[in-house]
Amino acid sequence: MPSSNANLVTRSLAILAKDIRLELRSRHALNAILLFAVSTLSVVSFSVGQSGLGPHVLAALYWVVIFFSAIAGLSHSFVREEETGTGLLLRLKADPDPVYLGKFFFNLMLLMFIAAVVTPLFFAFTDATLEQPAPFLTITCLGILGLCASTTIVAAIIARAASRGALFAVLSFPLLIPVLLVLVRASQKVLDGQSWGEIASEIQFLVAFPVVMIVGSILLFKFVWRE
Amino acid sequence: MWWKALLFIIMTAAIVAAFVTEAPQQQIGEASRIFYFHIPQAWISVLAFAMSMIYSIGYLRKRDILTDGRAADTAAIGLLVCILAAATGSIFAKVTWGSFWNWDPRESSIFLLLLIYGAYFALRGAVQDENRRATLSAVYSIFAFLTVPFLVFVLPRMVPSLHPSDSVVDENMKFVMGAEVWRILLTSLVGFSVLYLWMFNISGRIRKLSRARFEEI
């Protein structure tokens, strides 16, 4: 049981800081996810980058890169706890809510970092044009929020199961389909030159989805953490 | 027992009526008869998943392993019916629009449901300890159900759909099917629902008996 009087924010930040520090020491998740993203992007750019594929295909390819990078890297925060044996101590010491929030923000920062690397490279290496930066960036940020919202609790679920890597992908994919469909559609419209008006309903979806997923995760996380 | 005879009559009536009466949608013709079976199957696959979620919540509250077993059973029935719904929908799509799969929003939601069922059983298979398996799959079942309303209700409104049911609904959101079509569909729906509940009931009894036997030993 927690022994300090710190509130939720302080405790979550403590867990976030711990995870960042650990990650910067060994850089396992960062390397895996960055390598994956850049390799995939290179293949895309090499094969079809300059072929004049329309915004429809390019938007889909962009989200393929981000999505698979997420699947490659977002389970690390929980799996590492189990692999290094620190999971038990964390379960004894910390409450479920700060753990969930800390790890969620860790995943969010990881994926934002990857997007920050991939997005400029994507526009540099393919012939996609960014006429509307503000809508595109908003969609990307909301999409990443949605991806992290769904996958953090799944990472917690699979961390103590067998065949973790494959299982993470299998469990996450159904949960991410709705948000992926909407993201690709919205990105297609924006890369095509359309602006805020046409993507209003997609933006509503992309705001509602992470909210529902995060609330559900917070309510359910304690069962996963403490069983 | 009497209700089993009634179920037999209802299902037979629905099946015969589906083939003997006029085809429900004139533009599509004979192929639209599949709608009498496809719609109940789609309905049952969502119902079964909702039941799985409800039993999962029940497990998390009371920690009774039998409740978790029933959640798995209803998911198994739901998986079977979902495969049927996807297959019948796919056949209909081939006949009507020329290709087996089009990523129409409702097709996508059946595909999503199929993936969720598959993922649920993959998770159950990956955890050895009984109680942990029950807890983790209960959490996943509840969490996955949160995405279903998005795909079933929100997306079809956002994206133009191929599904004829969306052209059967007019601006007032009322069904404009003929009275006879509606009656046959309702009969089929009731028949399938009772069939599902019966299968679920039998599986629950088997589970209880095998659990009792297991504890004896």
pLDDT tens profile A147-166:
999 999 999 999 878 777 88
* B10 in reach of chain A (CB within 8 A): no
**What is the predicted pLDDT for the residue at B51?**
94
> Does the structure show a pLDDT above 90 at B214?
no
How many other C-beta atoms are found inside a 10 Å radius of the C-beta of residue A15?
Answer: 22
Residue A207 Cα, gap to closest chain B Cα (Å): 12
**What is the predicted pLDDT for the residue at B166?**
44
Residue A162 Cα, gap to closest chain B Cα (Å): 5
Contact assessment for residue A73 and residue A29, using Cβ atoms and an 8 Å cutoff: yes
Residues of B in contact with A152 (CB under 8 A): none
**What is the predicted pLDDT for the residue at A5?**
57
Q: Which residue in B115, B135, B150 is closest to A173 by CB distance?
A: B115
CA distances from A99 to A125, A148, A225, B115 (A): 39, 15, 9, 29
Global pTM?
Answer: 0.87
Which tokens is A136 given? 């595109």
Query: For the purposes of burial, counting CB atoms within 10 Å of the CB of A84, is it exposed (0-12), middle (13-18) or buried (19 or more)?
Result: exposed
The proportion of chain A whose per-residue pLDDT surpasses 70, expressed as a percent, equals 97
**What is the predicted pLDDT for the residue at B161?**
55
Residues of A in contact with B135 (CB under 8 A): 223-224, 227
Instruction: Please answer yes or no on whether A170 and B155 come within 8 Å at the CB atom.
Output: no
Rounded Cα distance, A22 and A18, in Å: 6
A46-55 average pLDDT score: 78
A57-73 average pLDDT score: 90
**What is the predicted pLDDT for the residue at B25?**
65
Rounded Cα distance, B55 and B67, in Å: 6
Q: Is A193 helix (H, G, I), strand (E, B) or coil?
A: coil
Residue B56 Cα, gap to closest chain A Cα (Å): 12
Rounded Cα distance, A56 and A75, in Å: 30
Q: Which residue of A has its CA nearest to B128?
A: A161
B185-202 average pLDDT score: 90
Contact assessment for residue A30 and residue A110, using Cβ atoms and an 8 Å cutoff: yes
A46-53 average pLDDT score: 78
**What is the predicted pLDDT for the residue at A100?**
93
Residue pointed to by tokens 């992926």: A180
**Dihedral sign computed on CA atoms, order B1, B6, B8, B9:** positive
**What is the predicted pLDDT for the residue at B169?**
36
Residue A36: name the closest of A128, A202, A165 by CA. Answer: A165
Task: Tell me the average pLDDT of chain B.
Answer: 83
Q: Which residue in B126, B143, B159 is closest to A220 by CB distance?
A: B143
**Across A210-219, B146-155, B164-173, least confident range:** B164-173
The residue ranges of every structural domain in chain B are 34-216
**What is the predicted pLDDT for the residue at B17?**
83
pLDDT tens profile B68-112:
999 999 999 999 999 999 999 888 888 777 788 877 777 888 888
**What is the predicted pLDDT for the residue at B173?**
35
* B116 in reach of chain A (CB within 8 A): yes
β-strand partners of A212: none
Residue A129: name the closest of A40, A184, A192 by CA. Answer: A192
Rounded Cα distance, B23 and B34, in Å: 10
Instruction: Please answer yes or no on whether A173 and B158 come within 8 Å at the CB atom.
Output: no
Instruction: Please answer yes or no on whether B108 and A177 come within 8 Å at the CB atom.
Output: yes
Q: Which residue of B has its CA nearest to A178?
A: B151
Q: Which residue in A163, A216, A220 is closest to B126 by CB distance?
A: A163
Q: Is A137 helix (H, G, I), strand (E, B) or coil?
A: helix
> Does the structure show a pLDDT above 60 at A181?
yes
pLDDT tens profile B161-192:
555 554 433 333 334 567 777 888 888 899 99
Residues of B in contact with A162 (CB under 8 A): 126-128
**What is the predicted pLDDT for the residue at B176?**
54
Higher pLDDT, A177 or B176: A177
**Dihedral sign computed on CA atoms, order B102, B104, B106, B108:** positive
Higher pLDDT, B177 or A74: A74
β-strand partners of B169: B175
Q: Please report the number of interchain residue pairs, chain A to chain B, with beta-carbon separation below 8 angstroms.
A: 94
Instruction: Please answer yes or no on whether A223 and B60 come within 8 Å at the CB atom.
Output: yes
Q: How many residues does chain B have?
A: 217
Residue A57 main-chain phi, psi, to 5 deg: -70, -40
